[in-house]
Amino acid sequence: ITGAAQMDGAILVVSAADGPMPQTREHILLARQVGVPALCVFMNKVDQVDDEELLELVEMEIRELLSSYEFPGDDIPIVKGSALAALEDSDATIGSEAIKALMAEVDAYIPQPERPKDQPFLMPIEDVFSISGRGTVVTGRIERGIVNVGEEIEIVG
C-alpha cells in the first residue's frame, strides 16, 4: 500500500459471486486509516450471478460495510460488471460499457484536487525502481506546477 496516503480516491473491487471477503474489510479499513477521501466500487463477476436479488443483496452488504467504516455507504457509486467480459470483449453491456461507466463515476464522484499550476514543479519521490532495458524509474505525486515532455527537471535529495 505504498503511496496510499497520497491517493485522491480509490476503486474497491468486490466479487459479485462471493460478496465482501475478509480482505475487502481490510482494504476499507486501510483506506480509512490512511485517509483515502473517496471510494467508488466495482462489483465484478456479475456474469457468474444469475439472480438479480442476489446482486442487490451483495450491494446492500457492501454499502453496510462501507458505512461501518464511516464512508458514506448510501452515496458511494457501485458499478456492476465483468472485467473478464471487458478483457475478452464478449459482452459489452457488462464488459467495456461497465468499465466506461465506472470511470465516469470515478470522474464524477472523486473530486479533482486543486494543485497550484503556476508554481515551480514539485514532485516528492515516493519510490525508485531499476528496470532492465529502461533504467531508473521514480514514482510520486505532483504537488504543484507542470512538467512537459522533453523539459529538464532538477532532482534534489
Alpha helices in the chain (DSSP H): 22-34, 52-68, 83-88, 96-109
Average pLDDT of the chain to the nearest whole number: 92
The ranges assigned to domains in the chain are 4-109, 115-157
- Report, at the CATH architecture level, how domain 115-157 is classified: Beta Barrel (2.40)
The winner for highest mean pLDDT among 61-65, 114-118, 137-141 is 61-65
Single-letter residue type at 132: S
Q: How far apart are alpha carbons 122 and 109 in whole angstroms?
A: 26
Could you tell me the three cell numbers for 83?
472485467
Contact, 61 vs 19, CB < 8 A? yes
Question: What kind of architecture, by CATH, is found in domain 4-109?
Answer: 3-Layer(aba) Sandwich (3.40)
pLDDT in tens, 12-27: 999 999 999 999 999 9
* pLDDT reading at 51 higher than 60: yes
For 122-138, the pLDDT digits (tens) are 988 888 999 999 899 88
Residue 92, pLDDT score:
94
For the segment 33-38, the average pLDDT, to the nearest whole number, is: 92
Identify the band that residue 83 occupies on the pLDDT scale cut at 50, 70 and 90: very high
pLDDT value for 38: 95
Is a pLDDT exceeding 80 seen at residue 2?
Answer: no
